Structure 1
Amino acid sequence: MKPIRLLLTACTMTLMASSVIAAVSEEEAAKLGTSLTPVGAEKAGNTEGSIPAWTGGLKADAAPVQNGFMGDPYAAEKPLFVITAANVEQYKDKLTPGQQAMFKRYPDTYKMPVYKTQRSAVMPQSAYDAAKKSALTTEAVNEGYSLKNFDQIHYFAFPIPKTGLQVVWNHLTRYRGHNYINTQVQATPQVNGDFTPVHIEMASGFPWIMKDAKPQDTSNILFFVKQTVTAPARMAGNVTLIHETLDQVAEPRMAWAYNAGQRRVRRAPQVAYDGPGTASDGLRVADNADMYNGAPDRYDWKLVGKKEIYIPYNSYKLQSPSLKYKDIIQPGHINQDLTRYELHRVWEVQGTLKSGARHIYAKRHMFFDEDTWTAVEIDHYDGRGQLWRVSEGHTYTDYVQQLTAFAGIATYDLMAGRYVVSNLGNENKKGIDYAYQPSVNDFTPAALRNAGIR
């Protein structure tokens, strides 16, 4: 019996070892770049032909670039149709509950111009290679809320996901390009549309492409972010610093805040979960930024599956430098004439707040673009089960940097009749600066005081 027991033990250990090494089999990972795109989307189009096959995305010269702002490769296209409150029932099977609620809340003004589907997503080969490696090596531990064997890979933890949580991880670890710095504008218009733009300088650094980052010190860092409010004057000089960690169970997000009025740097544990969002007038919380961010450990995540819906896409018109913020920001919602929706396949995930956990959102209904893993639609429900807030992320492909960015993110409060819109940059002198070369020292608490000097 002893040899048999030893053999069984050896087999068990072998299986355990293989489960640590491989998230999916070699055979399944081989689909990446063949039947699947290099990051895990279905390469083929749909049977109706309304979603085309992915053929590699936009080329670097897809349209003229103006001071870092992408030109519109599809400027000549006209909407196939426009969804309004009058015809919304005809299209409801391809709309999220939140989108349908927006038509009910704003029946006279909310609309969705739907264009031909263009699978424009493109990324560099390094991101595709990372996805392939992730598929074979990355594993979720601590009930799925932490990543193992990922610190040297950096992108797309689970390109062939098996669970809802793995889909969420793909959004959190999606390809974002190089270190960058830019000024984003956020606004919280009143019911009548009046608003004061808040200018926030955003600086982001990724340790694996920062020259002075030491792997032994930054192995658990996904990225650094520093937010400096530069206007209006009453808020200028306030700075928030975030060290986003990979394993937020073992090492929670680290955040610090510099208050210009007090001239003090303090730890800021509230910059997480449902802590108040920066300059948001109570209309969003910390983990509404980037559509969704931070540790996913307060929710149970259910993978509903994939479906086809109309989502914001190729939003070049919305990011155009020819627009003023007043052209975009209107009562109730952003100017929907400037938006573009397309039919795309998405991953549908539901997050339900765990028993005993605290968050103002009891449920999150999330939709992720299959070609980029970016969250593009999220419905937020309160503790009574009522739909409360609706978030839409208007994305576009930066075909020069080969990444997906937001032209704007809007979170609508259906009950208050107000919204917060962020990630706008139309009136900037230039677009996002990806030539930014920060030092690790730029993202230390000691650097906050200097960053906040008015």
Structure 2
Amino acid sequence: MKQTLAITSSLMVALSTATVQAAVSPEEAERLGNDLTCVGAVAAGNEAGTIPPFSGHWLGKPPHVDYELHSGQHPVDPYPEDTPTLVIDGQNFRDYADNLTDGQIAMFERYPETFRMPVYPGRRDFRYPDEVCEVARRNALEAELTDGGLGYTGYNGAIPFPIPSSAMEVLANHNNPYLAYTEANWERDIANVNSGGDITWGRQVNITYNATTHPDNVGLPHGDSTEGVMAYSFVKTLLPARDRGNATVAIEPNSYARDRLAWSYNPGTRRVRQAPEFGFDSPMPGTSGMLTIDQDRLMNGSPERYDWALLGQREIYVPANAYRLHSEDVSYDDLLQTGHANPDEMRYELRRVWVIEGTLKDDYRHKFGKRTLYIDEDTWHGVVGDYYDTRGTLVQHGFINYYYAFDLNAWHAGTSFYHDLTTGGYLAFNLFQDLEEGPELNRDDLPVDMFTPAALRRSSH
């Protein structure tokens, strides 16, 4: 499906003054698969031995794991015998402050009696497919930022900048990882838990087609092979009841110098309308206004409203290998406690992360005046985000629990938590623990004509 994605006039100055980031030298690229992993993480462990070296000895489902691919089965833990080596709590967190984010410290200060971080042995055992590694190597040699950092040249199927030199390159990696090419017929629950523990429920049907990671497009030039489109999505709200039947289709461009296109259907008016502006701090459907559209995966969409700075790399305790949390043995009643989720279901590891910070530009508006993102070097997925209001006050702390999905031989975003540090409430997003099936990944091809205004209208009947 061909779409016209017009360049917005507000970005013309940025396009004309963009600084082009050069690709790395062949000598630097030779580090990939040697002292760096094929996607650019430091292969060695740290000096203290608290971060292990990368092994990468598993591609896909390990032999000892009983899992049926592409079935919607809940994730199965390949490390069932692991136990915490450390528990950080309200009494000892200051001893580990150098390896915590401001938002994590705020959680310990707000919930000193109940918030804990169980720290498990580091595990770096899974790897990407060879074709993804090859695309990453080609991107290292050839990819460059375009459109003032809002797009890039290179090839589909892997991050564009495995050896980054700027915040915009790191952010481009976060926005363009190797993902499932389809998520089909996936229901997900959303729990808005107030400070007293009462829950307002949301539920959505979520269907996604990622064009740039489809097997037919992996390795092809970024952009031309997918007609300017990175991804298509369809979201229909089932809960809360007042929003039941609302639905949206959206088309994600492969360069944010072009507009996102989105259409919405409202059952009250029975009309499909194009959304004049989709993204940024517009409320995420089904979240009771707790989550903005550009907070899904901590940050998504155009970065144009912020000035981004690269703060370097740190060793941080972050969620990792989060299989236990997503087991069918975990119930919502057990998980969703007052103040925060049940720490016993969490798994943290000490990992190296890239840290980037976005500061709101003077001539733009947004709910958040500053946002700090912590991006896992092994996967290039954002795992922790701290959010500040326009006065500089830390107001929200979010984190995503990723796991290596055997269906796609890569990492997948599971349940995320967004904590309102002002009210004491939190949002649990992408819940499926109590549902019969988990995400259905790479099960079927999806036709792109199901992501059109006409298809949205048909879906309402």
CA distance change for structure 1 residues 217 and 57 in 2, over 3 Å: closer, same or farther?
closer
Measured in 2, the distance between the counterparts of 1:229 and 1:390 equals 25
Distance 1:20 1:292, change over 3 A: closer
Unaligned runs of 5+ in 2: 1-18, 218-222
What is the DSSP-based 3-state SS (H/G/I as helix, E as strand, rest coil) of the residue aligned with 2:203? strand
Query: In the alignment, what sits opposite 1:5?
Result: none
| 2:383 aligned counterpart, secondary structure | strand
- Give me the whole-angstrom Cα distance separating, in 1, the residues matched to 2:134 and 2:311: 28
Choose the corresponding residue for 2:303, options 296, 301, 304.
296
Q: Contact (CA 8 Å) 2:388, 2:396: kept in 1 or not?
A: yes
Shift of 1:421: 1.2
Amino acid at match of 2:189: V
Structure 2 residue 73 is the aligned partner of structure 1 residue 71 = no
| Residues 442, 217 of structure 1: alpha-carbon distance in 2 compared, 3 angstrom cutoff | farther
Q: Structure 1 length as normaliser, TM-score?
A: 0.90
Correspondence for 1:396 among 400, 403, 407: 403
CA contact 1:188–1:280 (8 Å) conserved in 2 = yes
Deviation sequence 1:203-231 (CA, Å, 0-9, x none): 1112353889xx86843111111111234
C-alpha distance in structure 2 between counterparts of 1:216 and 1:115, whole Å:
44
2:339 is equivalent to residue 332 of structure 1? yes
Change in Cα spacing, 1:121 to 1:374, as seen in structure 2 (3 Å) is farther
Deviations 1:262-311 (A, max 9, x none): 21111123431111111222212110012210001111111111111100
Q: Map Cα deviations across residues 214-254 of structure 1 (whole Å, 9 max, x no partner).
A: x86843111111111234444332111111112222x1111
TM superposition shift of 1:352: 1.0
For residues 450 and 427 of structure 1, do their structure 2 counterparts lie closer, same or farther at Cα, with a shift above 3 Å needed? farther
Identity %: 36
Q: Which residue is equivalent to 2:456? A: 448
Structural RMSD (CA):
2.1
How far apart, CA to CA, are the structure 1 residues paired with 2:38 and 2:381? 15
Residue 364 of structure 2 corresponds to residue 357 of structure 1: yes
Tell me the equivalent position of 1:439: 447
Aligned to 1:421: 428
Tell me how far apart the structure 2 counterparts of residues 156 and 121 of structure 1 sit (CA, whole Å): 17
Residue matched to 1:116: 121
| Equivalent residue, structure 2, for 1:23 | 23
Q: Match of 2:385, SS?
A: strand
Partner of 1:4: none
Q: Secondary structure at the match of 1:143?
A: helix
- Rg: which structure is higher? 1
Matched residue, 1:408: 415
The alignment of Structure 1 onto Structure 2 pairs a total of residues equal to 431
Partner of 2:294 in structure 1? Answer: 287
- Residues 132-168 of structure 1, C-alpha deviation per residue, up to 9 Å, x if partnerless? 1111121112222222x23x42420111100011111
1:247 to 250, 255, 262: 255
- Aligned ranges for residues 224-235 of structure 1 at < 5 Å? 224-235=232-243
Whether 2:207 is the aligned partner of 1:203: answer yes
Looking at structure 2, the residues matched to 405 and 232 of structure 1 have their Cα atoms a distance apart, in angstroms, of: 26
Moved more, 329-338 or 116-125: 116-125
Q: Structure 1 residues 98, 21: closer, same or farther in 2, change over 3 A? A: closer
What is the Cα deviation at residue 95 of structure 1? 0.5
| CA shift for structure 1 position 70 | 2.1
Deviating more after overlay: 116-125 vs 309-318:
116-125
What pairs up with 1:152-171 in 2 under 5 angstroms? 152-171=155-174
State the AA in 1 paired with 2:250.
I
* 1:99 positional shift: 0.1
- 2:159 aligns to what SS in structure 1? coil
* Partner Cα separation in structure 2 for residue 299 and residue 199 of structure 1: 31
| 1:73 to 1:241, Cα distance in 2 relative to 1, 3 A | same
Structure 2 counterpart of 1:15: none
In the TM superposition, 1:58-137 aligns within 5 A as 58-62=58-62, 63-65=65-67, 68-137=73-142
Contact 1:345/1:370, CA 8 A, preserved across alignment: yes
Q: What is the distance in 1 between the residues matched to 2:156 and 2:427? A: 34
In structure 1, C-alpha distance between the alignment counterparts of 2:272 and 2:128, rounded to whole Å: 38
Instruction: Give the AA of the match of 1:141.
Output: T
Distance in 1 separating the partners of 2:198 and 2:204: 19
Does the CA contact (< 8 Å) of 1:156 and 1:170 recur in 2?
yes
1:190 — aligned with what?
A: 194
Unaligned runs of 5+ in 1: 1-18
SS at match of 1:385: coil
